[in-house]
Chain A
Amino acid sequence: MWTRLKALIVKELLAVLRDPRSRLILIGPPLVQLLVFSYAATLEVKNVDLLVLNRDAGPWGQELVQRLASTPTVGRLIRAAGPGELREGIDRQRAIAAVHIGQTFSRDIAAAHPADLQIILDGRRSNASQIVAGYLNQIVAGLAADIAAGRPTQGGAVAVAARNWFNPNLEFQWFMVPNLVAAIALLIGLVVTALSIARERELGTFDQLMVSPLRTHEILIGKTIPPMLIGTFHITVYILAAVFVFGVPLRGSLVLLYGSAVFYLLAVVGIGLFISALAATQQQAILGAFLFLVPAMLLSGFATPIENMPAWLQPVTAVSPLRYFLVIVKGVFLKDLPAAEVVRNTVPLMAIALVALSAAGWLFRRRLE
């Protein structure tokens, strides 16, 4: 049995590695994903252009403008001459937000009245403008705190010092690169596996395998191991890139990470095999793979938190193996996730792997009738 299995595994690896197009699939998309997601698709808002209309003649208006200008996230500070210019600036998207300081701003502060400040945001870019609103609130809160501090008689002012644990500088890449470790293994694992049986069926070599002494389970094992090896290779490359290129701290145990990765890959390959057993042609296999891939990505919490999804949709996320492995990867990287938590998230992966592989085996046998 080992002789046959070894021959099959070697053949599968050779078939992938000797075909220039397959080689491209193995190298191209992972590289592109790494570059795109790590550098271009950032969720941070930097270099914000701000419009300011300061109609206040007093010192506090000037102080606020100074503070806005010296904030590192603010790129250009455009001073508007009147409300009309403010409106037009937002309309033409010259700035994402505008700050309107009223005439009585300093006077109200001096008189210890509540001072009003108008912030106008571009709702068309809702995500970015929400983040900008957060920044502006922080700056204004800082100013308010200093005003309060300058008047010790009033007292009661609370200074808030926010600390982001696990990612103190809120480095976007610390969040994204560990995510990619999981996502790339899903993409490549699924595509390579989905193609493997469909390609043989299309070329007619599948019958050749079926009349050989290889048993059905041997064929399935032989088709499972090579994509897992390839997936492990990709995961390793991404972990190395995360640590040495992007400087993401690796705080947890690599053993736990690789241990759970085995079951993650098993789940992914199982689903790939199921798609492959279902498809009659390579075209169907690729379509099937993406039909699973896109929802699996969206429902995994990769880009949007699962907690934000509607309640009825949240249970559906349970079938995405990416969901569990994301928790593990991010946890192991950023906060030394304890073994018990890793296991708790690995068990669903085992379940998905078991179901997918059995279904693939069943379908595989059935298609032979």
Chain B
Amino acid sequence: MAEDVVHMADVTKRFGRAPPALEAVSGTIGGGEITGLVGPDGAGKTTLIRLVTGLMRPDGGALTVLGFDTGREAPRIQAAIGYMPQRFGLYEDLSVQENLDLYADLRGLPMPERAGTFDELLGFTDLKRFTGRLAGQLSGGMKQKLGLACALLRKPRLLLLDEPGVGVDPISRRDLWAMVQNLTREGVGVVWSTAYLDEAEACDRVLLLERGRLMFTGPPAELTGRAAGRVFKLTGLAGRRRPLLARALQQAGVVDGVIQGEAIRLMLAPGAEPSALARGVASAGAIAPAEPRFEDAYVDMLGGGPGGRSKLAEAATARMADPAHPVIEARGLTKRFGDFTAADGITFTIPRGEIFGLLGPNGAGKSTTFKMLCGLLKPTAGEGRVAGFDLRRDTAAARGRLGYMAQKFSLYGDLSVAQNLAFFAGVYGLTGARKAGRIGLMTEIFDLGARRGQSARDLPLGLKQRLALACAVMHEPEALFLDEPTSGVDPITRREFWTHINGLVEKGVTVLVTTHFMDEAEYCDRISLIYRGRSIALGSPDELKASAANADTPTPTMEDAFVALVRRSDAAEAA
């Protein structure tokens, strides 16, 4: 292993009067390996990267990069590193080649070297065919590759990648990973920041950040080791698995549990007896040990999951299942923007009390489909119905029956928690005692009482998530539309969120969720895999995984299934 390239000693950074963005972070980043900078949004990942680049100075502590002090010798550091910011840092109105030329100028790459370097990088990133295309018209994955190429124009000794995996399809993500791994063989130190724990697991070492504090540093396996022998999978379950999970989480000795397709994954407290637990949860079914993952250990370190009870669901009135009438229907939904087809003949039906997932990378068409169904976009062809209504044409009353939670929790940041709740209650026509009652209930269930007067903008991410859900379900909708509901939040908040959703679904609420998060797909009853505007596969998570199984990967993950299905679709198209 090469020597360390970054040394941090008690690095602290504050912005204004807010709690510190980074507090006394100490550690090292090694050369020749991939260091994962892991944590939910707002943990301090980007701040740390910007400190390392010398773009900002720490308020306290010492930070040296490649032997240079970031405060005094920032220009020397910047000449020797490559940095890819979160939003690519590309000029969208320039072509691929023009972007490369521009960055070559900025980085002072000598003219004679250019042809060779461009050729190598374009080959490396597989962008040779697209040199004339505008950067703004590339897919998310290609943009990331071009961003990487620009950062590599002068071979850096340290490469800083800020969330390169966001919005990228799994295939491109694997390509990117392979490229970066190649670089580490040449001794380059790579920092890969991410909120995805599966990416963290693949890194050589991780720095786990939470709210500006370093929670763990070392090889991911070292953290994962603490969950060894305590992770089990309950399979062959009879009946609905969501109430079973809720029951399992109420058992003493169960630290954490999630739904994984048809199975339930449980983490037990040290010394708990698995078979006794299994009997307590379900009469039928088998329990078998499973491979622990980074996420299990992380949750364990945070003190376990939030439990299985959803006060929200307990307070909800049950709706009768009525299989004859689907709650959400998409019939040949098609949307064209000019000559670009964003969604092409998407068809599915969702019966009451089901969670349906639209899975796919950014730009594949899942958001377009989603927006057509909830009435935000007018389909070019086809039809979408919710609870029997066409939301484009029917009355506002029909819209009162659905709840909507957008990406990044679109709350009104300037309004206080109480004012946000009052606004959404009013907009959904709640008045008088019912309004007061529902607001009181939401405040109590989501434990927002102490923050009633605080501006929504200043809430920590987890509480924003809770408030957004409270606003979306205030009026007891029968269908819930969730657009990337848990991207960037920590695993505890995500579990808490899904506990509520699972509970509501058991009460007969129907859920449509978009995600590019493979783990989240496991919570769904059925999934439609959206790729290049078309639904290339539809089925339960287990069915999709089974269809991708082969001799090499007998038990594929959701991501493996995704990659296999996309490859199959590409091959069918080429044929």
Bound complex: CA of A210 vs CA of B392, how far in Å?
Answer: 11
Residue of chain A at shortest CB distance from B468 = A208
Q: Which residues of B contact A215 (CB under 8 A)?
A: 396
Establish whether residues B410 and A369, one from each chain, have CB atoms under 8 Å apart when the complex forms.
Answer: no
Residue B275 CB within 8 A of the other chain: no
Q: Which residues of A contact B426 (CB under 8 A)?
A: 3-4, 6-8, 10
Residue A88 CB within 8 A of the other chain: no
CB contacts under 8 Å to A, within B416-465, are 416, 419, 422-431, 455
Residue A305 CB within 8 A of the other chain: no
Of B375, B410, B419, B424, the contact of A14 (CB 8 Å cutoff): B419
Residue of chain B at shortest CB distance from A204 = B410
Q: Which residues of A contact B414 (CB under 8 A)?
A: 14-15, 18-19, 22
Residue of chain A at shortest CB distance from B407 = A204
| B interface SS class | loop
Bound complex: CA of A4 vs CA of B427, how far in Å?
Answer: 4
Residue A214 CB within 8 A of the other chain: yes
Of B377, B378, B416, B427, the contact of A214 (CB 8 Å cutoff): B427
Q: Which residues of B contact A369 (CB under 8 A)?
A: 377-378
Establish whether residues A7 and B425, one from each chain, have CB atoms under 8 Å apart when the complex forms.
Answer: yes
Q: Which residues of B contact A3 (CB under 8 A)?
A: 426, 429-431
Bound complex: CA of A14 vs CA of B428, how far in Å?
Answer: 18
Q: How far is the CB of B385 from chain A (nearest CB, A)?
A: 15
Q: Which residues of A contact B371 (CB under 8 A)?
A: 207
Bound complex: CA of A211 vs CA of B414, how far in Å?
Answer: 21
Establish whether residues A210 and B376, one from each chain, have CB atoms under 8 Å apart when the complex forms.
Answer: yes
Establish whether residues A211 and B374, one from each chain, have CB atoms under 8 Å apart when the complex forms.
Answer: yes
Establish whether residues A213 and B400, one from each chain, have CB atoms under 8 Å apart when the complex forms.
Answer: yes
Residue B136 CB within 8 A of the other chain: no
Bound complex: CA of A3 vs CA of B396, how far in Å?
Answer: 14
CB contacts under 8 Å to B, within A194-227, are 203-205, 207-215
Bound complex: CA of A4 vs CA of B396, how far in Å?
Answer: 11
Q: How far is the CB of B572 from chain A (nearest CB, A)?
A: 33
Residue B397 CB within 8 A of the other chain: yes
Query: Considering residues A15, A207, A209, A369, which has the most beta carbons from chain B within 10 angstroms of its beta carbon?
Result: A207
Residue B22 CB within 8 A of the other chain: no
Residue B402 CB within 8 A of the other chain: yes
Q: Which residues of A contact B424 (CB under 8 A)?
A: 7, 212
Establish whether residues A214 and B412, one from each chain, have CB atoms under 8 Å apart when the complex forms.
Answer: no
Residue of chain B at shortest CB distance from A215 = B396
Residue A11 CB within 8 A of the other chain: yes
Given known A-B contacts A203-B413, A204-B406, A207-B404, A7 and B427 have beta carbons under 8 A apart = yes
Residue A311 CB within 8 A of the other chain: no
Establish whether residues A211 and B376, one from each chain, have CB atoms under 8 Å apart when the complex forms.
Answer: yes
Establish whether residues B410 and A207, one from each chain, have CB atoms under 8 Å apart when the complex forms.
Answer: yes
Establish whether residues A213 and B427, one from each chain, have CB atoms under 8 Å apart when the complex forms.
Answer: yes
Q: Which residues of A contact B430 (CB under 8 A)?
A: 3
Bound complex: CA of A8 vs CA of B429, how far in Å?
Answer: 11
Q: Which residues of B contact A211 (CB under 8 A)?
A: 374-376, 391, 399, 402, 404, 481
Residue B237 CB within 8 A of the other chain: no
Bound complex: CA of A211 vs CA of B376, how far in Å?
Answer: 7
Residue A32 CB within 8 A of the other chain: no
Bound complex: CA of A215 vs CA of B371, how far in Å?
Answer: 17
CB contacts under 8 Å to A, within B383-412, are 391, 396-397, 399-400, 402, 404, 406-408, 410-412
Establish whether residues B455 and A18, one from each chain, have CB atoms under 8 Å apart when the complex forms.
Answer: yes
Q: Which residues of B contact A8 (CB under 8 A)?
A: 423, 426-427
Establish whether residues B410 and A213, one from each chain, have CB atoms under 8 Å apart when the complex forms.
Answer: no
Establish whether residues B415 and A18, one from each chain, have CB atoms under 8 Å apart when the complex forms.
Answer: yes
Bound complex: CA of A8 vs CA of B419, how far in Å?
Answer: 11
Q: Which residues of B contact A18 (CB under 8 A)?
A: 414-416, 455
Residue A313 CB within 8 A of the other chain: no
Residue of chain A at shortest CB distance from B431 = A3
Establish whether residues A210 and B375, one from each chain, have CB atoms under 8 Å apart when the complex forms.
Answer: yes
Given known A-B contacts A3-B429, A213-B400, A208 and B423 have beta carbons under 8 A apart = no
Of A6, A11, A208, A213, the contact of B397 (CB 8 Å cutoff): A213
Establish whether residues A205 and B411, one from each chain, have CB atoms under 8 Å apart when the complex forms.
Answer: yes
Of A19, A208, A214, the contact of B404 (CB 8 Å cutoff): A208
Given known A-B contacts A204-B407, A205-B410, A213 and B429 have beta carbons under 8 A apart = yes
Residue A255 CB within 8 A of the other chain: no
Bound complex: CA of A7 vs CA of B391, how far in Å?
Answer: 22
Q: How far is the CB of A212 from chain B (nearest CB, A)?
A: 5
Bound complex: CA of A49 vs CA of B504, how far in Å?
Answer: 84
Bound complex: CA of A369 vs CA of B375, how far in Å?
Answer: 10
Q: Which residues of B contact A205 (CB under 8 A)?
A: 406, 410-412
Q: How far is the CB of B413 from chain A (nearest CB, A)?
A: 7
Residue A245 CB within 8 A of the other chain: no
Residue of chain B at shortest CB distance from A7 = B426
Q: How far is the CB of B145 from chain A (nearest CB, A)?
A: 27
Instruction: Supply 25 A–B pairs (Cβ within 8 Å), ascending by A.
Output: A4-B427, A7-B423, A11-B419, A11-B423, A15-B414, A18-B455, A22-B414, A203-B410, A203-B413, A205-B410, A207-B371, A207-B404, A208-B404, A208-B410, A211-B404, A211-B481, A212-B404, A212-B427, A213-B400, A213-B427, A214-B427, A215-B396, A368-B376, A368-B377, A368-B378
- For the A-B complex with A4-B429, A15-B415, A214-B396 known, give 16 more contacts whose Cβ atoms are closer than 8 Å: A3-B429, A4-B427, A7-B422, A7-B425, A7-B427, A8-B426, A10-B422, A10-B423, A18-B414, A22-B414, A205-B410, A205-B411, A207-B376, A212-B428, A213-B400, A369-B378
Residues of A within 8 A of B (CB): 3-4, 6-8, 10-11, 14-15, 18-19, 22, 203-205, 207-215, 368-369
Q: Name the 10 nearest CB pairs between A and B, nearest first.
A: A7-B426, A213-B396, A204-B410, A213-B400, A205-B410, A211-B404, A11-B423, A19-B414, A18-B414, A212-B427
